[in-house]
Chain A
Amino acid sequence: MSPNLPTPLRTFWANAARTCVRARPLGLTAALVALSSCGGSSAMPGGMSSIAPSMAMRPLSVEAPSPDPRVGLRAGLFDAEEAAWNLRVVSKTPPPEAFVGKTNSDLAFKGNYAIQGNYDGVQIWDITNPSAPTTVITHLCPASQSDVSVFGDLLFVSGEGMTGRLDCGAQGVQEAVSHDRLRGIRIFDISDIRSPRHITNVQTCRGSHTHTVLEDPNDQDNVYIYVSGSAPVRPAEELAGCSDASPNQDPNSALFRIEVIRVPIARPQDAAIVSSPRIFNDLVAPPTHGLAPDDIIAMDEAEAAGAFVAEFEGRRRILGDRTTRPLLNGIMTARGGTRVSAADSATLRASIPAMAESLMGGGGDGLGPTQCHDITVYPAIGRAGGACGGYGLLLDITNPIDPKRLSAVSDSNFAYWHSATFNNDGTKVLFTDEWGGGGGPKCRASDPPEWGANAIFTLDDQDMDFRSYYKLPAAQTSLENCVAHNGSLIPIPGRDIMVQSWYQGGVSIFDWTDANNPVEIAFHDRGPSDANRMGAGGTWSVYWYNGVLVSSEISRGLDIFELLPSDALSQNEIDAAKSVHFDHLNSQGQPQIVWPHTFALARAYVDQLERSRAVSSAWVTEVRAGLTAAEATSGSARQSALTGMASQIRGQAGQSGDAAKVRMLADALRGLAGS
């Protein structure tokens, strides 16, 4: 795929040098110095090869391994057969003895530590050496699901189950009403990570299934926690003030609201609920989203071929035989016939719009869902994606204690809105559907590809527009619980790439840069954890953190993967991703990715332009050579070379097939010159 490396004399540097100074062939350094005197691209009319592509642009397309190696993997707990494509298993570390057979849950990261929730507590790993993670501490304090987050020296842990105790005891809580029970958020001081110190608890009426840490860019004194709890409301006898009456009967009802906890950073012991926003108020049935482009084409074709098509709930649907046959029979019977005729079909066709119209309509009581399952905040753009019962919500979170709903979507294919991920530009949001709650085998060949999947939306100011579904493309067995679950962006510059857990369906990495056409580019999977029954296991969450992919395996411990280059992802793109460093990460408190200025970043953009055929191959060759030459120099020579290159490339952007990406390259070069 890569063209042969050019000789330096064929590079645009040489060309530019000739043009500018009309000199004899120059040494490289001289050429770069000469270039620096040239100024902008206008001084180099004959400079670079034409950027204009000679071939049509092509969408990302990947040749996936066939047959899919994920199908038919041998079962096993710690010795299951594995399949991996375009990634490498760096380490597989079983859980500490105390957590063997206990459910691992979500992950958070601080420094070189991975903090793994477990239904029996929290496990902290040192992942300084990703090939050999070591146990720092196994902290026993049972409460499902132990969703974890960090901020500074604070660790937050969710408790929802009936067994969580204030004293962290393992004996459970037998009484239905008990003051020993903890359901809510536990807060620990982890300034000494080997010895977490319990600070306080914030009890909530529905407990905390998940929570989200919101770091408000305008508030340096506090951090906020959005609490989502999906289990039933606690009795008031257990936690005063809790009510599950309808809000119409009791304005203090714990239903139909979320909880916002404010944690003063200087006095975390004062953490408390500060608001309970009713973000669902007046939420009536929003329009279900439209069809995917491919579906529209298929629908048009089917209609042209004679299928009956009706519009229900704002969406066109092909009516199957099971629907149309009784209707046709009815029409036939009404005219006293015995065989369905073409006239009967015409009658049905003519009456479908009226039938569909009569089936349409609003409704609902305006209360909306009673809770969210999870909320992903993206403070850099002041937005949050709420996955709430039957709805996906877009929230304005510029005032953390008073989030406002901007819009809502629902989807007849979505059973239960589970979580959200924004792309880094904040122009798209991806919601997951945890159909069946994660315990069901929803990736069998017989399960529809739009059920238990991701739905991808583009953001148009305040509106969300449906584009497509993405579901794990490999059929799993009925022994493997499998449905869309947690993941994060991988910081590949210029593309939207996500890594995601599918429980026993494994890890799937996909490109959703084209919202209409998500494409899987890498995966890892194991066989079932048990050959005879649907055992516990699979990946709960997998996140990119400082160069590696870290997966919380429910039964098998901690897995760490590394990306391998492929046709769909170059080494330069991987290197650019690895240049991004976080000092901590809570995936549901989505950080904005900012790429340091590196040669890898510039080369990643060049690789992408080449892959999509947005530029000519000669241009790619010259730019690569130019980068090689510039990297070989230093100081002002490098700066001059990069600056000149940046301005010339910027001037060419309009002639390429992807002006925006070419400008990103120019910006990267300018940034590199300045760094």
Chain B
Amino acid sequence: MMSDPRRHLPLPYVAAALLLSALSTVACAGAGGPTTPAPRSGAGAANAPPPAPDLARLEALYRARADSALQRVSDADAHFMTGMIHHHAQALVMSAWAATHGANASVLTLTARITNAQKDEIAVMQRWLRERDRPVPEVDAGGKMAPDSGMQMPDMDMSDTQMPGMLSPQQLLDLSRARGVNYDRLFLTYMIQHHNGAVTMVHELFATDGAAQDDFVFKLASDIQVDQATEVARMQQMLDGLPSNHDR
């Protein structure tokens, strides 16, 4: 059920090798951070009474590190975030029709959760890009993308059909016209395709040099992968349980 990770296929994205070198984590920590080669241990004053921590100074350090993390952006990560916003947006469009297209109760539950989850993730990915001064694709509540929304990055053709799993215009049209159990069947079929595409995008990210060195990106991408693979299994069961195709 897992999609082919296409590890051996040419990568669709150009990954600009970003030399992060020793910039990450501790070395950029500012004053006080240990800098000796790892593994390192810094014993604290275990037996002395702990000095009252200077919380204002720690908070300043926290902010400085957060700012410094914003400077270390791999193009592969930024490209993934940008593409995944588009990818998620189409899931919102597909799900929004459930309420008006006679979806059954379990598909309604599923679409409600997909909508909730992917809206939140879109917001998180937009913020990640915004804070790094990258173009931010804008998505309205129904999943429609603003025109020319953050897709002008050089060497990155992100027209919808270029991303794995995205529905073709014809598939979208078919889904928009389907009602009742036909909608359920098409929705599940297409959302399995769509989710598997997202899983493939995660595999492609991880197969890219310089990618997912940012803990946040690693976690988001991993979570998308497991959530959507889990949901694919659930949708496959729902699909298998639908009545046969007699009423089309």
Stretch at the interface among A321-329, A374-382, A506-514, A612-620: A321-329
- In the complex, B189 has a CB within 8 A of chain A: no
Stretch at the interface among A22-30, A131-139, A585-593: A131-139
Interface residues of A in 117-134 (CB under 8 A from B): 119-120, 126, 132-134
Give, as a whole number of angstroms, the nearest-CB distance from B119 to chain A.
10
Per-position 1/0 for A436-460, Cβ under 8 A of B = 1111111000010001000000000
> Which residues of A lie under 8 Å from residue B233 when comparing CB positions?
364, 368-369, 389-390
Give, as a whole number of angstroms, the nearest-CB distance from A413 to chain B.
8
- In the complex, A367 has a CB within 8 A of chain B: yes
A363 touches B41 (CB 8 A): no
- In the complex, B55 has a CB within 8 A of chain A: yes
Give, as a whole number of angstroms, the nearest-CB distance from B40 to chain A.
5
How many residue pairs link A and B with beta carbons under 8 A? The number is 274
Instruction: Report which of A78, A195, A323 forms a contact with B108, defined as CB distance below 8 A.
Output: A323
- In the complex, B206 has a CB within 8 A of chain A: yes
A416 touches B215 (CB 8 A): no
CA–CA, A235 and B20, complex, Å: 23
B44 touches A136 (CB 8 A): yes
A232 touches B59 (CB 8 A): no
- Kindly state the interface size class of chain B when it binds its partner: 35 or more
CA–CA, A413 and B221, complex, Å: 22
CA–CA, A307 and B218, complex, Å: 46
B124 touches A362 (CB 8 A): no
Give, as a whole number of angstroms, the nearest-CB distance from A352 to chain B.
11
Contacts A98-B33, A102-B25, A172-B24 given; indicate if A137 touches B219 (C-beta within 8 A). no
- In the complex, A392 has a CB within 8 A of chain B: no
Contacts A100-B65, A255-B2, A389-B233 given; indicate if A416 touches B45 (C-beta within 8 A). no
CA–CA, A98 and B31, complex, Å: 10
A436 touches B223 (CB 8 A): yes
CA–CA, A138 and B64, complex, Å: 20
Instruction: Report which of B41, B46, B218 forms a contact with A196, defined as CB distance below 8 A.
Output: B41
- In the complex, B116 has a CB within 8 A of chain A: yes
Per-position 1/0 for B14-26, Cβ under 8 A of A = 0001111111111
> Which residues of A lie under 8 Å from residue B33 when comparing CB positions?
97-98
Interface residues of A in 215-229 (CB under 8 A from B): none
A→B interface (CB under 8 Å): 77-79, 93-98, 100-103, 119-120, 126, 132-142, 144, 160-163, 165, 167-176, 194-196, 198, 209, 230-233, 235, 244, 246, 255, 285, 310, 312-313, 317, 319-320, 322-323, 326-327, 330, 358-365, 367-371, 373, 389-390, 410, 412-413, 415-416, 435-442, 447, 451, 533-534, 555
Can you sample 20 A-B contacts with CB below 8 Å? A93-B53, A98-B32, A100-B29, A161-B212, A162-B218, A168-B38, A171-B21, A171-B24, A174-B17, A232-B5, A232-B202, A317-B106, A326-B179, A359-B106, A361-B242, A362-B237, A437-B219, A439-B219, A440-B117, A555-B62
For the complex with contacts A144-B219, A162-B212, 10 further pairs of A-B residues with Cβ separation under 8 Å are: A162-B211, A194-B41, A230-B222, A313-B106, A326-B179, A361-B241, A362-B237, A368-B233, A437-B226, A440-B120
B→A interface (CB under 8 Å): 1-2, 5, 7, 17-27, 29, 32-34, 37-50, 53, 55, 58-59, 61-62, 65-66, 69, 99-100, 102-106, 108-110, 113, 116-117, 120-121, 124, 127, 179-180, 202-203, 206-213, 215, 218-220, 222-223, 225-227, 229-231, 233-234, 236-237, 239-243
